[in-house]
Each structure stands twice: as C-alpha cells, then as structure tokens.
Amino acid sequence: MATNARTWFYQTPEKNPYLLQERVNGTLWMARLWDVYFVTERAEPPFRMSAVYHGTPLVIEWEPGKWFRLTAPQSLPGVITAFSNILQLPASLMYTDNHGMVVTEWHRDGGHERWREIQGNPMYQSVVRLNP
C-alpha cells in the first residue's frame, strides 16, 4: 500500500488499529526510517502510537490536520527531521515535560496559540520556539 502523511495526518484515517499502523509505518519506511515499527495505542483522535527506535521509546500523537507530537527521553534530530519531511511541515516547538521527556510539536497553524499556552508554565522546561 503506497501511503503518505495525506492518508493519516492531513485526512482522518479509518479507526482500524492495524490499518493505521500499516499507513504510518509504511510512510516512515518510504522516508527511510526503517528501524522503527509503531503500534497503535489509540485509533481515534487524538491518535496515539508507540515504538522503540534504537532502544529509545517513542510516542507519537496527533489530531488530523491540526497538530503532531513526538515524545522521547531525549532529542532525536534525525527522527525530528524525518517527521518534518514526512509531514512537509517544520517543527514548531520543543520542550521538556514534567516527566523529563523531550517533546517536539508540529502545528499547521504555526503553533502560536500552543506557544502562549506553554510559555511560562512551570510544567514545561527548556521551551524553544523552532519556527517563529
């Protein structure tokens, strides 16, 4: 099945966990991110999937057509670049959450509202605006 982000991010995908996994993983493999296999945890908006990439746990979540979030124990520039290419959207912001996880977010609206929401909130540390 040929797939890209249009079939699961820019449009709401079917709520079948297996088909969602196939779409997302197929997109990642086509983008040469071969060493990862995401498993569906929630097959309805906001969608949630998890994987392990080179021993590092990853979680992705998204609201179709609106925002996408990658959570990992540390920043993974190669994975961030891959998702930016897949989504054809630059990452909007990055921060460390109250569990010590590094979160990178992409927002179709540029992330201005989300920036205002997290800026100055003590739950979010090391907040960086990536695409002002």
Q: Which residues contact 69 (CB under 8 A, 6 or more apart)?
A: 60, 61, 62, 103, 104, 105, 106
Domains held by the chain: number: 1
Q: What is the pTM of this model?
A: 0.94
Please state the length of the chain: 132
Task: Indicate left, alpha or beta for 98 from its phi (over 0: left) and psi (-120 to 50: alpha).
Answer: alpha
39-42 and 67-72 as β-strands: parallel, antiparallel, unpaired?
A: unpaired
Q: Give residue 52's domain range.
A: 5-129
Cβ atoms of 91 and 131 within 8 Å: the answer is: yes
| pLDDT digits 0-9 by tens, 65-113 | 999 999 999 999 999 999 999 999 999 999 999 999 999 999 999 999 9
